[in-house]
């Protein structure tokens, strides 16, 4: 049966991502999901923007399109409408997808084109050297927020849901099986599915915020879901009367799923039914 490794372009490997980069883990999970769904990726298109996460499509043996910064969703919309039978997956980063590409994200969600958008959120612009990103949390240090970031950050999942995405989920590099399950359901979903994946940048963001290297980031990333942090907050604390402030928590798994007519259905476009799932 096909394995993730079979879907790689071996002549291109090893890839350029830094040692311990979370993106590699997410790519690993994505290829395992695809390996379960397809013998080969003839009927799969990976469309990516510009940035570390977008470079991974180059290493996948599929129809891969490396577009311009922030604009992947526009190219993907055209490709999907032209060839509805293709399973089109858009790979974007937090800078590429929420920074320069934010406008296209909310419109793609509104249109509900049958695409699956996987946003790699490592809270920084990795490719250009660790600058501030729309998802960088407050007080975090980056090369363009040397005094600590003061801007509030997006919650990508909430934004996508508000813009009309009919499937919204969040995964974590540290929890590959949860991530695979979430991606599987996203690909099965008819309509715009948005998956935000918490991953991390070891070379810049990790180093500047003393979060450590690969595995250290994975463990610090193991932010738990709401129940655990609520439990921790109301436990008796020893020294600090106000107890430990509740850590910022991201609920994981499928956060929203509803069935709305996709753009293709509302237009009555042909060829829609051929897409076998």
Site residues for other proteins, window 111-150 (CB under 8 A)?
125, 127-129, 131-132, 134, 143-147
Six-digit token pair at 64?
């891969």
CB of 64 to other proteins, least distance (A): 14
265: which residues sit within 8 A by CB, 6+ positions away?
272
| Nearest-angstrom CA–CA distance, 245 and 255 | 24
Question: Three-state DSSP class for 248?
Answer: coil
Residue 258 has which token pair?
């509803």
CB of 99 to other proteins, least distance (A): 5
User: Looking at 36-44, 111-119, 212-220, 264-272, which segment touches other proteins (CB under 8 A)?
Assistant: 212-220
Binder of other proteins out of 39, 40, 139, 237 (CB under 8 A): 237
12 binds other proteins per the rule CB under 8 A:
no
The verdict on 4 binding other proteins (CB under 8 A) reads yes
| Number of chain residues interacting with other proteins (CB under 8 A) | 80
| DSSP string over 119-181 | EEE-SSBTTTTSB--TTPPTT--BTTBTT---S----HHHHHHHHT-SEEEEEETT-HHHHHH
DSSP state of 80: H
Other Cβ atoms closer than 10 A to 129: 12
Count other Cβ atoms within 10 Å, centred on residue 119.
25
What is residue 37's three-state secondary structure?
Answer: helix
CB of 228 or CB of 267, closer to other proteins: 228
In the complex, the smallest distance separating the C-beta of residue 11 from other proteins, rounded to whole angstroms, is: 12
Q: Which of 5-13, 162-170, 185-193, 266-274 is the region at the interface with other proteins (rule: CB under 8 A)?
A: 5-13
Instruction: Find the binder of other proteins among 43, 175, 189, 190 (CB under 8 A).
Output: 175
Closest to 246 (Cα-Cα) out of 233, 263, 261: 233
Task: For residue 177, state whether it binds other proteins (rule: CB under 8 A).
Answer: yes
2 binds other proteins (CB under 8 A): no
Which of 9, 36, 42, 68 touches other proteins by CB under 8 A?
Answer: 68
State the virtual CA torsion across 65, 66, 70, 76 in degrees, nearest 10. Answer: 0
Under the binding rule (CB under 8 A), the answer on residue 270 touching other proteins is no
Report the nearest approach of other proteins to the CB of residue 196 (Å).
16
7 burial (CB, 10 Å; 0-12 / 13-18 / 19+) is buried
Single residue of 1, 11, 19, 270 touching other proteins by CB under 8 A: 19
The residue within the footprint of other proteins, chosen from 12, 16, 137, 162 (CB under 8 A), is 16
Among 34, 50, 160, 195, binds other proteins (CB under 8 A): 50
C-alpha–C-alpha distance, residues 216 and 20, integer Å: 10
Window of 65-73, 75-83, 115-123, 255-263 that interacts with other proteins by CB under 8 A: 65-73
Instruction: Closer to other proteins by CB, 42 or 219: give it.
Output: 219
């Amino acid at each position: 049966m096909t394995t993730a490794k079979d879907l790689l372009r071996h002549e291109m490997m090893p890839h350029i991502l830094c040692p311990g980069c979370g993106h590699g883990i997410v790519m690993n999970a994505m290829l395992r999901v695809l390996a379960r769904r397809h013998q080969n990726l003839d009927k799969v298109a990976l469309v990516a923007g510009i940035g570390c996460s977008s470079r991974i499509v180059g290493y996948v043996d599929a129809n891969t399109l490396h577009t311009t910064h922030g604009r992947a969703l526009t190219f993907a919309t055209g490709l999907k409408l032209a060839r509805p039978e293709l399973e089109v997956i858009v790979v974007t980063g937090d800078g590429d997808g929420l920074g320069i590409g934010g406008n296209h994200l909310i419109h793609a969600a509104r249109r509900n084109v049958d695409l699956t958008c996987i946003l790699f959120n490592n809270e920084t612009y990795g490719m250009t050297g660790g600058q501030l990103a729309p998802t960088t949390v407050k007080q975090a240090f980056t090369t363009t927020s040397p005094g600590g970031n003061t801007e509030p950050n997006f919650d990508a999942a909430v934004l996508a849901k508000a813009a009309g995405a009919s499937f919204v989920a969040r995964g974590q590099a540290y929890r590959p099986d949860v991530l695979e399950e979430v991606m599987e359901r996203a690909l099965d979903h008819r309509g715009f599915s948005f998956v935000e994946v918490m991953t991390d940048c070891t070379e810049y963001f990790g180093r500047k915020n003393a979060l450590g290297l690969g595995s250290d980031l994975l463990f610090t990333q193991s932010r738990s879901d709401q129940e655990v942090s609520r439990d921790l907050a109301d436990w008796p604390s020893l020294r600090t009367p106000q107890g430990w402030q509740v850590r910022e928590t991201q609920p994981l798994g499928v956060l929203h799923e509803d069935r709305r007519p996709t753009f293709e259905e509302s237009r009555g476009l042909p060829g829609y039914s051929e897409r076998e799932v």
